[in-house]
């Protein structure tokens, strides 16, 4: 068995692997960048080695530094996790050539499957169904147009290397083709070091169904049933479940057989995932499925398979890596119940999923669900890496019960300091279409991201939650053990005058007024509206039991004093965070009109305008890279470009002025 394992990754997956290693008595080694020096995964490891730098290229993509760290710490094996070097043939080869065990498939298999184009060729030979596709790299513009026309619009431009939705563009018409091809190639080069791209027929609506396979050195390849991952944004999954609700028995059996056939065709070993696209059923026939790719690694969504089958897939990876055998297909058993995973991202769905960075000052998830997380009760979300901060997984006897359990847990999740997609996840899980099995690839666009992403706590629920926050702050002010007692804005030292507290929540201001007489709550006013018949049944800095108009609600409260005071209130409608005063003034408030600013830290990928250019509202001014994504920054009004303060390759901080546009005279 492996004695000491180096984990060539970070965050949530590094901690997940360490959890299994602790159960098996395997020592762990973490490697970390400067930005991750205080990361929870670093503290969890038995040993840790600094790689230096902040960006992936400076740290987690340094093959030589990682192999050297493994040798220096006496590790006998390396687990790549997922992302970074997990599907890098050169890394797997360097590990094995250094005399170490690589926990994954062979370098040769990674090389073949690392090219989606080569993978398609292998699958065609094996008789696995494919979508029409054409390689585009190396073709001139007329050749690209002809190749895509042969497939037929709409098409999906895809990177041959890598995954995670990067290097993908949907093209509806020839007019959009050139920009999509250039953008996909640029993003693929940046993310994977390989700009090879191809076009594939785009099927919409569709389902994304994948099969977990495992192979060993004894020639056996088996499947661990399937997962569905159709709810996506930017071609990246946000909700995954097992089993798939989209398959009839015949299609399920055919899908499993195709996945095992794919694994055998390439001599697969260790954990892998064969991904398929499921098209809509036609008259008198089942849905049709098509091979997409083989991910030669553990998947982000592996927990849902573990939950319905009872296997520890990381443990099986470690056992297979040292020559162990996978179970017989009959020993894997049937799926029991249902499991759903939601990816909690630091991003704002109402702003086109703009990533959010900064300090998480409070983080807690209710009991009763599985939590795979990069942070504990607080931590940092860096600009340099993917914005996923946690995965929340629920299981239950059936799909509806599981979705409700997961939605309730997410609704009660407290995340203070950054914006997340929590509310969108909850509304999706509770949506009639999702519960009725219409959660296909078009779900978010069909139902509206703005509608799904709006706050869970609003209207009357927000008013009473804000009142509970104000009352909890009042109790906290009175507590004898306060480190720095202070009088909040709006406090009045007049017994007959109401106290007032002002909060901001979701970019709006909420003012709460309250008055106590003879130790009892006499009045409660929110934004000028008096709440009927308020009764404070019990209260403390942590708990408010409040009745309004005959309806009693209990609120758990968490107050954090720091750079700003945040008050998290968890009530029947869900959790909401109110801020006593903004941590930073909005960047737009600090600059002159006509200024385009960076809403988050990042690197300038390209600049599309120069001083003197005339631009219209919506024209793309520049493209910025942040958190492994390309963000197009557009003009918000028409005018003439006055200044361009940045160039391609520049690093910028949040709030930096990038371009100014003067209004036309």
511 and 405 housed in the same domain: no
Q: Phi and psi (nearest 5°) for 177?
A: -70, -50
Q: Is 191 within a domain?
A: yes
Q: ω before 205 within 30° of 0 (cis)? A: yes
Is 82 buried (19+), middle (13-18) or exposed (0-12) by CB count in 10 A? middle
Give dist(CA 461, CA 457) in Å, integer.
6
Q: What angle do CA 501, 504, 506 make, to 5 degrees?
A: 150
433 and 397 housed in the same domain: yes
If phi over 0 gives left and psi between -120 and 50 gives alpha, with beta otherwise, what is residue 191? alpha
Q: Which residues of the chain have pLDDT under 70?
A: 162-164, 282-286, 478-497, 562-563, 581-593, 599, 627-629, 665
pLDDT at residue number 585: 47
Give dist(CA 289, CA 251) in Å, integer.
8
Cβ–Cβ < 8 Å for 377, 362 = yes
Q: Is 85 within a domain?
A: yes
CATH of the domain at 617: 2.40.50.100
3-state secondary structure of 563: coil
Is 487 buried (19+), middle (13-18) or exposed (0-12) by CB count in 10 A? exposed
The CA-atom distances, in angstroms, between 547 and each of 199, 499, 534, 550, 552 are 60, 19, 6, 6, 4
pLDDT at residue number 605: 87
Longest Cα pair distance anywhere in the chain, in angstroms? 84
pLDDT at residue number 562: 67
573 and 470 housed in the same domain: yes
Q: How many CA atoms lie within 13 A of 465 on its CB side?
A: 28
255 and 124 housed in the same domain: yes
Q: ω before 154 within 30° of 0 (cis)? A: yes
Give dist(CA 292, CA 99) in Å, integer.
34
353 and 395 housed in the same domain: yes
Domain end position, chosen among 410, 431, 454: 454
Give dist(CA 292, CA 120) in Å, integer.
8
Q: If you write DSSP's letter for every residue of 67-81 in order, what string do you get?
A: HHHHHHHT-SEEE--
CATH of the domain at 150: 3.30.1490.20
Give dist(CA 475, CA 581) in Å, integer.
19
CATH of the domain at 524: 3.30.700.30
If phi over 0 gives left and psi between -120 and 50 gives alpha, with beta otherwise, what is residue 423? alpha
Domain end position, chosen among 579, 595, 613: 579
Give dist(CA 286, CA 8) in Å, integer.
42
Structure tokens at 47: 């040993």
The CA-atom distances, in angstroms, between 572 and each of 153, 465, 566 are 47, 10, 19
Cβ–Cβ < 8 Å for 616, 181 = no
CA nearest 263: which of 323, 318, 216, 321? 216
3-state secondary structure of 611: coil
Give dist(CA 393, CA 340) in Å, integer.
6
122 and 218 housed in the same domain: yes
CATH of the domain at 11: 3.40.50.20
Question: Domain of 196?
Answer: 132-201
278 and 252 housed in the same domain: yes
262 and 117 housed in the same domain: yes
Cβ–Cβ < 8 Å for 251, 259 = no
The CA-atom distances, in angstroms, between 651 and each of 186, 597, 659 are 18, 13, 14
* Count of domains forming the chain: 6
Cα 101 vs. chain centroid, distance in angstroms? 30
Between 302-309 and 313-321, two packed helices, what is the crossing angle to 10 degrees?
100
Q: Is 108 within a domain?
A: no
CATH of the domain at 284: 3.30.470.20
Give dist(CA 541, CA 395) in Å, integer.
34
476 and 564 housed in the same domain: yes
Give dist(CA 16, CA 48) in Å, integer.
16
Q: Is 160 within a domain?
A: yes
Q: Is 637 within a domain?
A: yes
Strand ranges across the sheet with 207-215:
289-295, 270-278, 207-215, 221-233, 236-242, 338-345, 388-396, 370-373
**Cβ atoms within 10 Å, residue 92:** 27
Cβ–Cβ < 8 Å for 559, 472 = yes
Give dist(CA 625, CA 594) in Å, integer.
22
320 and 342 housed in the same domain: no
pLDDT at residue number 160: 86
List beta partners, residue 371. Answer: 392
Helix (H) / strand (E) containing 519: none
Q: Phi and psi (nearest 5°) for 618?
A: 100, -10
């Amino acid at each position: 068995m492996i004695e000491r394992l180096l984990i060539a990754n970070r965050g949530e997956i590094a901690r997940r692997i360490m959890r299994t290693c602790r159960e098996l008595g395997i020592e762990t080694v973490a490697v970390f960048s400067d930005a991750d020096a205080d990361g929870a995964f670093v503290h969890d490891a038995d040993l840790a080695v600094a790689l230096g730098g902040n960006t992936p290229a400076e740290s987690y993509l340094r093959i030589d530094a990682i192999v050297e760290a493994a040798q220096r710490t006496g590790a006998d094996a390396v687990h790549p996790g997922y992302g970074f070097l997990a599907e890098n043939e050169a890394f797997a080869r360097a590990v094995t050539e250094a005399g170490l065990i690589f926990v994954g498939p062979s370098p040769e298999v990674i090389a073949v499957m690392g090219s989606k184009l080569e993978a398609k060729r292998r699958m065609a030979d094996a008789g696995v169904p494919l979508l029409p596709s054409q390689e585009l790299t190396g073709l001139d513009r007329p050749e690209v147009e002809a190749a895509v026309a042969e497939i037929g619009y709409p098409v999906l431009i895809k990177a041959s290397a890598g995954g995670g939705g990067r290097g993908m563009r949907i093209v509806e018409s020839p007019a959009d083709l050139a920009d999509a091809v250039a953008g996909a190639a640029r993003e693929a080069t940046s993310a994977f070091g390989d700009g090879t791209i191809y076009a594939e027929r785009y099927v919409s609506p569709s389902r994304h169904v994948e099969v977990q396979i495992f192979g060993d050195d004894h020639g056996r390849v088996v499947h661990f049933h399937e997962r569905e991952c159709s709810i996506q944004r930017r071609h990246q999954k946000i909700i995954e479940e097992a089993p798939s609700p989209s398959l009839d028995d015949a299609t399920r059996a055919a899908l499993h057989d195709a996945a095992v056939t794919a694994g055998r065709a390439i001599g697969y070993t260790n954990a892998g995932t064969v991904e398929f696209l499921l098209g809509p059923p036609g008259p008198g026939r089942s849905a049709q499925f098509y091979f997409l790719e083989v991910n030669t690694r553990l998947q982000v969504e592996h927990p849902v398979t573990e939950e319905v089958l009872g296997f520890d897939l990381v443990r099986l990876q470690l056992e297979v890596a040292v020559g162990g055998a996978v179970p017989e297909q009959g020993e894997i058993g049937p799926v029991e119940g249902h499991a759903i995973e939601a990816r909690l991202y630091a991003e704002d769905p109402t702003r086109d999923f703009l990533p959010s960075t900064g300090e998480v000052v409070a983080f807690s998830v209710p009991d009763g669900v599985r939590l795979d997380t990069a942070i504990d009760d607080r931590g940092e979300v860096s600009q340099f890496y993917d914005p996923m901060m946690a995965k929340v997984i629920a299981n239950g006897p059936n799909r509806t019960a599981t979705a409700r359990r997961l939605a309730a847990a997410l609704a009660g999740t407290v995340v203070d300091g950054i914006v997340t997609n929590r509310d969108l996840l909850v509304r999706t899980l509770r949506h009639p279409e999702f519960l009725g099995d219409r959660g296909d690839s078009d779900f978010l666009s069909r139902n509206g991201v703005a509608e799904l992403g709006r706050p869970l706590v609003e209207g009357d629920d927000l008013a009473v939650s804000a009142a509970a926050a104000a009352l909890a702050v009042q109790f906290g002010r009175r507590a004898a053990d306060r480190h720095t007692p202070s009088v909040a804005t709006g406090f009045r030292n007049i017994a007959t005058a109401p106290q007032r507290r002002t909060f901001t929540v979701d970019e709006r201001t909420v003012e709460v007024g309250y008055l106590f007489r003879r130790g009892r709550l006499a009045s409660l006013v929110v934004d000028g509206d008096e709440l009927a018949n308020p009764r404070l049944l019990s209260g403390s800095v942590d708990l408010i039991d409040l009745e309004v108009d005959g309806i009693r609600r209990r609120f758990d409260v968490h107050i954090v004093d720091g750079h700003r005071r945040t008050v998290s209130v968890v009530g029947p409608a869900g959790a909401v965070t109110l801020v006593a005063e903004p941590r930073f003034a909005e960047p737009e408030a600090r600059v002159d009109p006509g200024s385009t600013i960076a809403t988050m830290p990042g690197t300038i990928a390209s600049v599309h305008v120069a001083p003197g250019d005339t631009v219209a509202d919506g024209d793309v001014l520049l493209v910025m890279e942040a958190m492994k994504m390309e963000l197009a920054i557009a003009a918000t009004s028409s005018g003439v470009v006055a200044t361009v303060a940045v160039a391609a390759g520049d690093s910028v901080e949040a709030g930096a002025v990038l371009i100014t546009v003067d209004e036309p005279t």
